[in-house]
Amino acid sequence: MRTYDYTRRNFLKAVFLGTASLAVQGCVSDSQQPGGKGISPNILFFFTDDQRYDTLNTLNNAEIITPNMDTLVRKGTSFTRAYIMGSMSGAVCIPSRAKLMTGRTLFHLSDSGRNIPQEHVTMPETLQEAGYVTFGTGKWHNEASSYARSFTHGGKIFFGGMSDHLKVPVYDFNPAGTYPKEKRYTGEKFSSELFSDAAIKFIREYKDGNPFLVYISYTAPHDPRMAPKKYRDMYNPDKISLPKNFMPEHPFDNGDLKTRDEKLAPWPRTPGIVREHIADYYAMITHLDEQIGRVLKTLEESGKSDNTIIIFAGDNGLAVGAHGLFGKQNLYEHSVHVPLIISGPGLPQGKTCDALCYLLDIFPTVCELVGSPIPETVEGKSLVPLITGEKKKVRDSIFGAYKEFQRMVRNDRWKLILYNVNGKQTMQLFDLKNDPWEMKNLTDDPAQAERIKELTTLLKKWMKETDDNCDLDKLNWGYVPNEK
């Protein structure tokens, strides 16, 4: 592991002095910055769909093949405790993407994230103000007007949630910002290839002297799980490990056991069916990994890689047989815990950071990395002090919500989930240090009564601070008096 002698103050000093935004003092020479001093870094952002945090070979899964994602791990900082804040609808990726783009918390979105109003400044908009050319391709699961104001260039744009990966309805970029249905057409190849091709074309042809943002939002590995045969043949379902928390059925009604995602496999779940789904899921990720590699190779060939920040993240996780579930409509680790890697010239390589963070923290992090002011509407916290090593954490805890009947809070070790479904209240307490698979509910242990009280109080504090209007009394369980 490398050691680094720099601080956030030195980083900001470098930005202020115009010695290139990523020329962190003592780490990067001017010769490593194409064009010399004062050149802001480009940004290449890979955003995947429904990719669990435990699907990168180098980090946490010896069964999956992800050589290009592994390269990003080796060249960057991997945030091993990155989370989403949840959703108030079954389409979890809608608010997740709105939070990423606005840096706002769940209950401060507009229309549960479907619409991003003008007053909620987006990350690409902010970069445009800083002189960036912004290019967006792939999935935009929010309304078209927010895409139009966010990007100056684009291609193969998909306004929607999911589709057949060989029949993606897309639009060409329209500078006027209008996308009528009659202009929509079907993409000519597999989604991951389609979107990568659009980004590759932009990078190859880019001649502008200004820095760029290339945002590639894939629809893989979201179902339908239909990877090309070459990649499906890489995984024998009989040799795929079942998740340690595999269950035939969820042990109680969590409020959404019959949603669309859960109907992808019959009940009770069987080991054979789950292995088949995981094999298909891994195949999708391996195919996606190869497309990411194509983009990275193009960036290298363009001569721009030495001055480009690369961000890799997923919009939410997925159960795929864990806890008897298949979707992301829950608050277990497999569904709210996501991959996040940030790399760039002058930034640490091969570093892992276990600080608690959110996807919505990416926006202010990018602003600090390029020396741009953070808009007042942004609520996330910059992760730069974690990258530089100045701080070990920027949050003491994480809060999550799903619809009106699930709430979660976790700190460094302990996690509490509360459910209120049709008047029946259920509580789960997990020791994530000793039980990372969330298999042993400790709520009936008398020794945990005080801890439950503390976590319930913390949960209520989060709810109040984020303007979660869920009825606190319904989440009280008698452990903490009403504190409205």
For 338-390, the pLDDT digits (tens) are 999 999 999 999 999 999 999 999 999 999 999 999 999 999 999 999 999 99
**Is 483 inside any structural domain?**
no
Range of the domain at 324: 42-388
In a domain, 324, yes or no: yes
On whether both 319 and 433 belong to a single domain, the answer is: no
Q: In this structure, are 462 and 370 located in the same domain?
A: no
Angle between helices 362-370 and 93-102 (to 10 degrees): 30
In the predicted structure, residue 34 carries a pLDDT above the cut 50: no
Alpha-carbon distance 416 to 200, whole Å? Answer: 44
Residue 331 to residues 42, 88, 241, 414, Cα–Cα distance (Å) = 35, 12, 23, 14
pLDDT, averaged across the chain:
91
369 and 435 share a domain? no
Note whether 263 and 336 are same-domain residues.
yes
Both 290 and 429 in one domain: the answer is: no
What mean pLDDT is predicted for residues 468-478?
68
The answer, yes or no, to whether residue 85 has pLDDT greater than 80, is yes
Q: Is residue 160 part of a domain?
A: yes
Whether residues 372 and 411 fall in one domain: no
Same domain as 435, residue 319: no
Establish if 203 belongs to a structural domain.
Answer: yes
Domain-located, residue 484 = no
Q: Convert the pLDDT of each residue in 96-139 to its tens digit.
A: 999 999 999 999 999 888 999 999 999 999 999 999 999 999 99
- Does the pLDDT of residue 20 top 50, yes or no? no
Q: Do 78 and 149 reside in the same domain of the chain?
A: yes
**Is 462 in the same domain as 363?**
no
Q: Is the pLDDT of residue 332 over 90?
A: yes
If you average pLDDT over residues 440-464, what whole number do you get?
Answer: 96
Task: Assign residue 447 the CATH number of its domain.
Answer: 3.30.1120.10
Q: Given this model, what pLDDT does residue 19 score?
A: 34
Q: What is the pLDDT, as a whole number, of residue 425?
A: 92
Q: Is there a single domain that holds both residue 55 and residue 140?
A: yes
- Domain endpoint, select from 388, 421, 443: 388
212-255 tens-digit pLDDT: 999 999 999 999 999 999 999 999 999 999 999 999 999 999 99
Domain containing residue 187: CATH number: 3.40.720.10
Domain end marker among 356, 388, 420? 388
Residues 296 and 412 in one domain: no
Q: Are residues 379 and 413 in the same domain?
A: no
For residue 9, being part of any structural domain is answered with no
The number of distinct structural domains making up the chain is: 2
The residue out of 325, 360, 388 marking a domain boundary is 388
Strand bridging mode 42-48 / 212-217: parallel
Residue 29 within a domain: no
Q: What is the distance between the alpha carbons of residues 311 and 306, in angstroms, rounded to a whole number?
A: 14
| Within-domain flag for 468 | yes
As given in the structure block, the two tokens for residue 217 are: 């939002």
- Beta carbons within 10 angstroms of residue 162's beta carbon: 19
Nearest to 120 by CA among 135, 141, 139, 142: 142
Does residue 35 register a pLDDT over 90?
no
Percentage of the residues of the chain whose pLDDT score is greater than 70: 89
